[in-house]
């Protein structure tokens, strides 16, 4: 694989949870705005442009959860930067909208954002435990994610990411993607339902959906070897 592989993390947990799979694939994890040394960016579209500016042309771009939403936006807005696209637990809209029912109700997101603002140290572990429910390895996955996700990001970073999730609607952008695309989705994902992944796959021309049974929101932690095998097969496909 000559093209560089860049992975974009999800909300709240930073680069840690993706490090193992990135190493196995020979890739690099990029910090999202506000994490690590990356400056915080308030606007979602500006964050897309900022991340895209760091990518060499033809990059294989993978994103998990919020990172998948950003990766989708980059592939649509800067097609020369993305040679292949991998969306893990991805969706076109995190919240429910007209015609997009398989998502979180906006009121639930607003309640969660208020809880995070009041007590992030309590809410984040609950959030991770919640999206691990239904996974065959739920307890192990939950423990690993919490260990690898430390330290928690700043409160302003958490709030900004939740605001992105409330505003971003990429249903119109998804058909603009020209890169070969693989979606990997767990059948038991309670945060990003499989139906959302199926709907997103239908919007992206030629996209392939790879379903991992008995996995919830972090299939790369639940079954890392299986996950790496699926990604490698996609990367080496003609």
> How many CA atoms lie within 13 Å of 190's alpha carbon, on the beta-carbon side?
10
Please give the pLDDT value at position 165: 97
Please give the pLDDT value at position 237: 85
pLDDT in tens, 96-134: 999 999 999 999 999 999 999 999 999 999 999 999 999
Residue ranges in the chain modelled with pLDDT below 50: 1
- pTM across the whole model: 0.97
* 31/36 Cα distance (integer angstroms): 6
Please give the pLDDT value at position 1: 46
Q: Nearest Cα to 201, choosing from 184, 217, 218? A: 184
Domain residue ranges in the chain: 5-235
Please give the pLDDT value at position 3: 87
CATH class of 5-235: alpha beta
Q: Nearest Cα to 25, choosing from 179, 234, 201? A: 234
* Residue positions annotated with a catalytic role: 65, 189, 217
């Amino acid at each position: 694989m000559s093209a560089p592989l860049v992975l974009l993390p999800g909300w709240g947990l930073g680069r840690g949870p993706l490090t193992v799979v990135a190493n196995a694939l020979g890739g690099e994890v990029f910090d999202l705005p506000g994490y690590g040394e990356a400056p915080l960016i308030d606007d979602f579209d500006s964050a897309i442009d900022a991340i895209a500016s760091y990518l060499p042309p033809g990059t294989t771009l993978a994103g998990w959860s919020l990172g998948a939403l950003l990766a989708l936006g980059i592939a649509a807005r800067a097609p020369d930067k993305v040679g292949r696209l991998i969306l893990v637990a991805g969706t076109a809209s995190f919240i429910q909208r007209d015609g997009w029912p398989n998502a979180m109700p906006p009121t639930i997101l607003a309640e969660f954002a208020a809880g995070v603002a009041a007590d992030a140290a309590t809410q984040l572990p609950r959030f991770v435990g919640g999206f691990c429910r239904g996974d065959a390895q739920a307890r192990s996955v939950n423990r690993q994610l919490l260990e690898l996700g430390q330290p928690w990001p700043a409160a302003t970073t958490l709030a900004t990411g939740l605001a992105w999730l409330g505003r971003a609607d990429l249903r119109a952008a998804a058909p603009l993607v020209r890169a070969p695309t693989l979606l990997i989705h767990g059948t038991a994902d309670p945060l990003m339902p499989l139906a959302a992944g199926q709907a997103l796959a239908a919007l992206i021309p030629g996209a392939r959906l790879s379903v991992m049974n008995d996995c919830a929101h972090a299939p790369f932690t639940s079954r890392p070897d299986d996950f790496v095998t699926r990604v490698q097969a996609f990367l080496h496909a003609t």
